[in-house]
Structure 1
Amino acid sequence: MTLPDAADARPEPPRLELAGIGRRFGAVQALDQVSLVVRAGEIVALLGDSGCGKSTLLRVVAGLESADAGTVRLDGRPVDAGVPPEARGIGLMFQDYALFPHLTVGENVRFGLGGRPRSEARAIAAGRLEQVGLAHRAESYPATLSGGEGQRVALARALAPGPRILLLDEPFSNLDRRTRDRVRADTFGLLRETGTTTLLVTHDPEEALAFCDRIALMRAGSIVQVGTGEDLYERPRSRFAARFFGDLIEMPARCRGGRLDTPFGLLAAGASPEGADRLACLRPEAIRLAEPGSGTPGRVLRRSYLGARAALEITVDGVSAPFSLAVRPDEPARPGDTVALALHGSPLIFEVDRD
């Protein structure tokens, strides 16, 4: 019997590994000890507000920016800070697409294939344009393309060399909503189909939740939590993370006998010690309208008609701020009415003095 070589049994190294990445611009610490692993075939989002460091981190990975500290590894091998993107096997796609206006669509897609035989480059470019549905625009110029078409050409160009990892920096932000939804779904569908390892920079939590395998949530130059969308939405480690992914109904409470006394009744206190002050938080979808006279009373401040649904802005005594509750459009409640509310979910619990 032939035994497998020991080297063959080793796990495949991550496609991308960042270890302790630091970058300072004057007095600003843009990146502070950032570590992240992206495995082959994964789509991972760098998510956060403007200025949190996500684009700087992407530029460090690409070789467009040098790190002051830490190591970038591709397929287990460190990449020297001076190695440019084209030598790293990295595909880049930015907000403005950066198509060359003097080149045709086909020539744009072939641009990164200069080292290949002409016939091979043409075949690869044609194949990528076919994949994005733009084979018929190969002889067109960028100025004649719609925003969605320009985005797809930029994607075809980024994928043409067969990159080890594709870096996307807010690639859909310049599209109108209707176009963005369609092009975004097509783009991530193609990335899944081709098994392209992808690192996406975005400020849109819905985009990250809908299309990415994992999310690295950033704040002030650091990654505060990494996990699946379910992890970050349902099990956030901080109020910052919880708030980033949606509205919170926040209620100060104290732990008594293993329970938290809230306007919505006694709730499980988790690991909170006896007598500890806590902030019990609920997602709005955990609240439902109940039969009149039951549950917790709330007063309707405002009603908004949104077509397929309506939204009631409701205030409840003991809750930090009014919150919005989605209801059927035929729900009769109007401003000034008192409605009954029932809880259908477990709270997120945070220490009062921690964000």
Structure 2
Amino acid sequence: MPSTPPFRDRFAPPRLELQDLSLRFGAVRALDGIDLAVQPGEIVALLGDSGCGKSTLLRVVAGLERPDRGSVRLDGAEVGAVPPEARGVGLMFQDYALFPHLTVAENVRFGLHALPRGPAHTRATARLEQVGLAHRAASYPNTLSGGESQRVALARALAPGPRILLLDEPFSNLDRRTRDRVRADTLDLLRETGTTTILVTHDPEEALGFADRIALLRAGRVAQVGTGADLYRRPASRFAARFFGDLVEIAGPCRGGAVATPFGPCPAPGFPEGAALLACWRPEAIRLVSAQDGIPGRVVGRRFLGATALLSVAVEGFDAPLSLPVPGTDGREPGTAVRLACEPGDAFVFAADGD
């Protein structure tokens, strides 16, 4: 997970502040009371399933959509009536939207009309050098690879020096190997330039690896906002917990402030006696232990993934085998008896009948 950028002043006023943003498209409530603040130099990911409001929120910030209610403030000033081109917002689309009839250099200079030709050329060249594509300045977009197109689009978005950069699924069109490299290069450049950024993504791994904080959206609302560690280790709801990966789950009533599980009683503070609860663990929280400890299980399947493997382990008290990650060198085969343990206090406990 990204470390805190050294240039970010935690006590500075927000670069972007959204208050009570709501927007309907007919009967569909696309945004429903969104509150969010982004600090200067911060990278925030908007994460969620398709249709949850991520791209709509980005378009509202850019000025391409007008909310029915709420305010958008940039550096403390309300910009609801300010046209998109005057907001100082850079927007990079999923398909990059490069102009096919313009060269790479001309694409990057496109947003620099306010500058004389000489300074515009100098700035565009500097941005292309930053993304490692100065040698392709005279090329046309149809000659570029996917990764090169993404970097040109990034250079074009950064060339005017935007107050905030909005990225809408910018890596989704790249193959995995190219995506990992371009994503790392992009993050380095955003850190180097101190660019305040909002990234839209549906990929939890991308959000965890790219952003300082994550705003998890669901049905037009912010379900939870915090660092990646906050959302992964301290999810506020079962929805948030499940969004970041598989869970081992077991249901039971609240008895004496805890829910009984095969691993022992899990504390359930704040729930009433008899409430139907769900205790959940991340698979990596469950350990294979020596024969003297833990509860018995039996390996019923093994899937080799290279550096890691997944063991399917049948355990009494669980309706389905548990899928547990182990090192790829682990040699346990189906039929092997094992014992498992975890800390009951590591469980997330939620009401069984909702989020």
Which band: TM-score by shorter chain? over 0.9
Q: Structure 2: which amino acid aligns with 1:130?
A: E
Query: How many angstroms does 1:296 deviate by?
Result: 1.3
Distance 1:253 1:219 in 2: 27
Per the alignment, residue 18 of structure 1 pairs with 18
Q: Deviations along 1:72-126, whole A, 9 cap, x unmatched? A: 1111111134x33221000010111001111111111000001101110011001
Moved over 4 A (4+): none
Per the alignment, residue 199 of structure 1 pairs with 198
Q: Structure 1: which amino acid aligns with 2:74?
A: L
Per the alignment, residue 118 of structure 2 pairs with 119
Distance 1:269 1:21 in 2: 34
Query: How many angstroms does 1:12 deviate by?
Result: 4.1
Aligned residues between the structures:
344
Distance 1:267 1:60 in 2: 43
Distance 1:351 1:159 in 2: 46
How big is the alpha-carbon RMSD for the aligned residues of Structure 1 and Structure 2?
A: 1.6
Query: How many angstroms does 1:261 deviate by?
Result: 1.8
Asked if 1 retains the 8 angstrom alpha-carbon contact of 2:204 and 2:244, the reply is yes
Asked if 2 retains the 8 angstrom alpha-carbon contact of 1:249 and 1:321, the reply is no
Q: Deviations along 1:245-274, whole A, 9 cap, x unmatched? A: 111111113333444321112333344444
Secondary structure (helix, strand or coil) at the match of 1:341 reads strand
Asked if 2 retains the 8 angstrom alpha-carbon contact of 1:250 and 1:321, the reply is no
Query: How many angstroms does 1:35 deviate by?
Result: 1.2
Instruction: Report the TM-score when normalising by structure 2.
Output: 0.93
Per the alignment, residue 55 of structure 1 pairs with 55
Distance 2:291 2:202 in 1: 41
Query: How many angstroms does 1:321 deviate by?
Result: 3.7
Per the alignment, residue 348 of structure 1 pairs with 348
Distance 2:135 2:354 in 1: 56
Per the alignment, residue 218 of structure 2 pairs with 219
Secondary structure (helix, strand or coil) at the match of 1:240 reads helix
Per the alignment, residue 309 of structure 2 pairs with 310
Secondary structure (helix, strand or coil) at the match of 1:187 reads helix
Query: How many angstroms does 1:320 deviate by?
Result: 4.7
Asked if 2 retains the 8 angstrom alpha-carbon contact of 1:303 and 1:334, the reply is yes
Per the alignment, residue 168 of structure 2 pairs with 169
Q: Structure 1: which amino acid aligns with 2:113?
A: G
Per the alignment, residue 31 of structure 2 pairs with 31
Per the alignment, residue 4 of structure 2 pairs with none
Secondary structure (helix, strand or coil) at the match of 1:112 reads coil
Distance 1:214 1:308 in 2: 29
Distance 1:324 1:148 in 2: 35
Distance 2:321 2:84 in 1: 49
Distance 1:272 1:293 in 2: 34
Per the alignment, residue 3 of structure 2 pairs with none
Q: Structure 1: which amino acid aligns with 2:351?
A: E
Unaligned ranges ≥5, structure 2? 1-10
Distance 2:327 2:15 in 1: 46
Query: How many angstroms does 1:313 deviate by?
Result: 1.7
Secondary structure (helix, strand or coil) at the match of 1:136 reads helix
Secondary structure (helix, strand or coil) at the match of 1:143 reads helix
Distance 1:28 1:255 in 2: 38
Instruction: Report the TM-score when normalising by structure 1.
Output: 0.93
Query: How many angstroms does 1:190 deviate by?
Result: 0.5
Q: Structure 2: which amino acid aligns with 1:137?
A: R
